[in-house]
Amino acid sequence: MTLSPALGVIGLGRMAQALIEPLLLSGQVSAERVVAVVGRPESAVSCRKGAFADIAIHPVDAAEAADVWSAPLQLLAIKPQQIDAVSASAPGVGDSPLLVSVLAGVSIERLQRLFPSHRVVRAVPNTPALVGAGLTALAWGKDITVEQRLQVRQLFVGVSEVLELPEEKLDAFLALTSSGPAFVALVAEAMADGAVAAGLPRDLAHRLTHRTLAGTAALLDGRQLHPAILKDMVTSPGGTTIAGMRALERGGTRSAVIEAVIAAAERSRQLA
């Protein structure tokens, strides 16, 4: 007898794979209880490897794709612009299955309107989840049971720290944690370029930059230091660091970073 799926995955891109892989490898969810839907037949073929070799992966136009909607827990991980088409293809379902959306800018109210037979949860994970170092915020829709809350948290705890926030806080959370890695990557690129200009080989400059950023983050987090304290720890009178800090302040770096986070939050609100 074929068991009905325990987990349905609508869209099996990098983020969905990062979330599901720890569940499969740990045995928390067996491969035969997972069904996924992807956009194209070639995507279904390319996804069937590693931890995903034994799960059912169907292109969206296959008859078996409808099986995804019978799972009690469903992960919605498509592109935001695809949501109307996906909701139109979703059949009416009973027993109020739980839909967990990781779509940026799609509100709980819109999710509930597009999937009226579901209970819905909005999740905001960030890219470091791909290496098990992520942050995820959860905002709950209506009538979510305690058991369902535990199920949803289990989707994300393997790859991220999980926070529960009111939905109105998600735009700021997204701006800091989801857009933030791009801001940090820009700083990393600039630091490495500076090191190359100062005489280091390119490969070494990148490696040292990444280690410096990782070590600094570990120190700040591990000792719960305010950033200003760490800055003062390494800034001696008339030294190299204060010369560099002066250049950063002259370039308006602090203000630019503040405005970048605010702009990302405002854009998230516009998209919603």
Domain C-terminal end among 135, 166, 197:
166
Is 50 domain-assigned? yes
Radius of gyration of the chain from Cα atoms? 22
Exposed / middle / buried, residue 193 (Cβ in 10 Å: 0-12, 13-18, 19+): middle
Residue 90 sits in the same domain as residue 22: yes
Is 1 domain-assigned? no
Residue 12 sits in the same domain as residue 146: yes
Residue 137 sits in the same domain as residue 52: yes
Question: Which CATH number belongs to the domain containing residue 192 in this structure?
Answer: 1.10.3730.10
pTM: 0.90
For residue range 159-188, what is the model confidence (pLDDT) as tens digits? 999 999 999 999 999 999 999 999 999 999
Is 92 domain-assigned? yes
99 CA to centre of own chain: 16
Lowest mean pLDDT among 3-7, 68-72, 96-100, 111-115: 3-7
Q: Which two tokens stand for residue 149?
A: 């809350």
Q: Answer whether residue 65 shows pLDDT above 50.
A: yes
Q: Domain limits at 189?
A: 178-271
Mean pLDDT of 56-61: 92
Mean pLDDT of 150-158: 92
Q: What is the mean pLDDT of the chain?
A: 93
CA distances from 196 to 188, 189, 192, 199, 229 (A): 12, 11, 6, 5, 28
At 91 the pLDDT is 78
Residue 13 sits in the same domain as residue 96: yes
Question: Which CATH number belongs to the domain containing residue 89 in this structure?
Answer: 3.40.50.720
CA distances from 230 to 137, 159, 214, 218, 241 (A): 27, 28, 14, 12, 12
For residue range 215-266, what is the model confidence (pLDDT) as tens digits? 999 999 999 999 999 999 999 999 999 999 999 999 999 999 999 999 999 9
